[in-house]
Each structure stands twice: as C-alpha cells, then as structure tokens.
Structure 1
C-alpha cells in the first residue's frame, strides 16, 4: 500500500480523527464482521495494480476474487456496439471527431462523471483554461452539470465567443462511450474526477490523467494515480484558468514528466491485458469463482 497516504487522501466518508465516528464504525463493522461472513469478496482491480493491498485483504479474507478489470476496455467483444451500461444518451459524433484528428495522442478528454456538479464560475474557468492550453479537447458536459443552473435557454454557460474560438479543435457533448474514447489513438490525456471506473478505464487504455477529485474514494484514487502508479497530475481544488491551462500543457507536452507518465500508463495497460488473458491472475480468479459457484449449487 502507498506509504505516504495523508488524512486528506482518505475516502471522505471515513476521513476523521474521531475513533467513534459513525461512518468509520460502520465501515469497520463491515470489514471485521460482514465481509468474513460472506461466501466471497469480488474486487474489480488486478493484482499488479494493488498487490500489497490485495495481499493484506487475502490474509484476512482468503475467499477474495480479484476479477478486474471488468468491462470491454482491454478486449472488446464483437457484440460491444450493441450493448451499453450508460444511463445517459451517448453522442455519436465523438468517434468521428476523434478520427478526424491528425495526430495520435493529441486530444485531451474531459469527463467529470455522471453525478459530479460544478459552479458556473468553475465551468467558465475550465472552459477558458482548455481553450488557452491549445490542445484539441473532447469535453463531456452533462445537462445537469452546473449546480447553479445554465442559461435561460438551457445551455450550459461558457465564455462569450467560446464556441467560435474552439471550433474545429474542441467538441462538447452531453455524454459519450468513454471506453471507446479512451481507447482511441487520438486520445492522449484524461481530465477526470477519479471515480474508480474512470480511473481503471484510463489505466486499461494507457492514458495518463489530470486528477480533479470531488468526494468519496475519488481523493484516494487520485493520490494513488499520482504517487503510486505514476500516471497522474493532481489539479488544485481551486482550479482557475491559468492552472487548468498549465496542467493541460504539462500533461500533453513533451517534458520529462509527461513522457514518464505516458510510459507508466502504457505499462499498466499491458499488465491489465495480461491479467485478463488466458492464465492471467484475474482470469484464474474468475475461473475459481465459477468453480465455487458451481460447487455451491451442486
């Protein structure tokens, strides 16, 4: 496990110095009483990514099954275009727009997840920073993403002239097929809230991250991405346009840190592929899980 985890890096629901905190007590009970009573524990991760933590869990809970990464991001099946787990309608323009980008790894993908919200001012600062950074960007802007409301016509507020300024190099959509976007050859960076699904999908696609976590385990995922896995840069909580621009330029540039992050991201992708391949650690655990279920049913 990461050695320099700070209190502010703990999941927000157990971030406390009070040993009698209600949420902390509930989580301890779940770990010490409920989990050992279960027939098995399924985890959506893979051994190479979190080996020390998984070894510690297995020591207390031997019937742990590490079966990730779940999803199509490392080996898409042929029927994938007909299936989706998204609750939002995906915009079909995304892949065609990415196809039109000439340079591999040139696009910054921006998505803060399905429930995260921001203020009008934050929206404007991100818009301005993305425009000023100069890299092409694909930005998922949900209709409900601004908590203090959009304009009277229902549009999300952006600076005057923004759409015209970024025409041809910036696309804003309501939702997208994230696995397909992250796996596209044009995508070179991911500005994310660091939810676990997004974090794992980014690792599986070999795409480094700009991390702007909000709550829950997102802050922990951010710390791991930046300090343990070497694939992320943490954005400040008050991310003004200048900081957004600087962070995008750093991640998408050719500096030593950016090159190192891309190299590490590629390594984590390769390890994810190995985990789910025949004979891989996750494949073995999945087969063990199937045998366990068959034995119980029998």
Structure 2
C-alpha cells in the first residue's frame, strides 16, 4: 500500500545544518505584516517571533519541500498541511547556525485520509536544544488500513468576550512577499495553478497566517514581547486570500492564551482560517 506505517513510524529523516541572519529575521517579520521596530529594525532591540523557527531550516530553499518519506508513496497534490506547533527553550537568536533532526513520529488512519506527523528538534552547535516543531499533513485517499485513528482534544473557546479582538488587512502582495521565506509553491502565486487546484485565486500560505496570528496575539496580549512566548500551535481550518481581512480573537485562559482566526467581511465573512489556537507563555 502507498503508506506502510511499519516502515514510516519512527523513521529518521536526517539532520540538516542551516544558518540564518538578521536580514532573514527582518524579511520574515515584514512578510507576516510586522511594523513595530522591535521586529523590523536591527538597531531597535531586534527580537524574533518563535514562529520564525518553523521556517528557518528551509528559509533559503526555492524548491517545494520533498515528499520522499520512508514508507510513504505520496505526491504533493494529495497533501494538505493539517497543523503546526513550535515550542522554544528561550528567545531565538537574531542570527546563528543550528542543526535540525526530523523524524516521523506518528501516522493516523482517518479512513479517507492518513495523517502523518513529523517532529523536528533544532540544536545549537554546542548541542543545546533551541526549539521543537511538530507538524501534521493530511494525505487524501490514503487511509483505511485499520490503523490508529489518533486523538486530538479540540480547544474550547471561553463563553465570554475575548481579551483581544482585532483584525489585519492582508496585503494583495502578501503571498508574493512571504514566498521569499522559502516556500515557492505556485499555489500561492500562480493564478492558473491555483485554479487547477480548485481555488479561484492563489491562497495565502498557511504558515503566513500562522505567523500573522502569533504576531497579533503577542502584540495584543503580551505587550509585543516575543520572549514571553514559549510555544504556539494551531490547526489549519481554512484558507485566506491575499486582500482579505483576518479577524483574530484571543482569550487568557488557565495560564495560556487560546484563540481563533476567521475571515472578516465580504462574502466569506466568518469563514475559519485557524482553529485550536494555543499560545503558551514563558
């Protein structure tokens, strides 16, 4: 069968050394809509949003991510990014070198789809752990072998007014800017390709929405202090198009921040963008 869990689960995907600079951090922050000088000016106490750690290992790549996973015969057309999280051990350096080691941690059988989980651990040259990422992809048409369906506790939003309720107008060129952060998938730039994939126009990168929402919650509820973020996780619940407005709501709840992101205004008002949003604080 196209996915063989006995081969895939636990498979090590190798270790990759990568480096990043202040310029990379500045570009990333601009690509997710930052305007505060602490994110955009190297002489103004530059800080790094933890979401940068998700893209740092592939920041200088221009090809689509490979899908040659052990035990998995799949192609890009079958794949949808399901969820993403990062946890950090401390503030991310504004420049540096690290090595990321990645493995397939789990595979769930959802019947009509398989869910493949990957975990990556980034370490400094002296062996210190810097951050850990977890991500899942849905592989359409590859479930049904009778495997573990997995478990996921949905985030329940409080039944009260949010502590933050704001919006961000996505720039018409936002996806074209964000693709300079290492994701050149034509789905986010080429109208003909997007229409062939079933969308009326190119869609914004899910990880761009991810960064926008983390930045917004950090600015609104953590006084813009990126070092106060210990972790950030979301489920990708829908698409966002350049030129649309995203509404971000956040609630302080039990020592963490929970939230949601939806489309604001227009024909798609209220459509989900990110769900199960959880920001843990340091």
By percentage of residues, which structure has more helix?
1
Q: Is TM (by shorter chain) over 0.5?
A: no
| Greater C-alpha radius of gyration | 1
- Shorter chain as denominator, the TM-score bin is under 0.3
By percentage of residues, which structure has more strand?
2
**TM-score with structure 2 setting the length:** 0.25
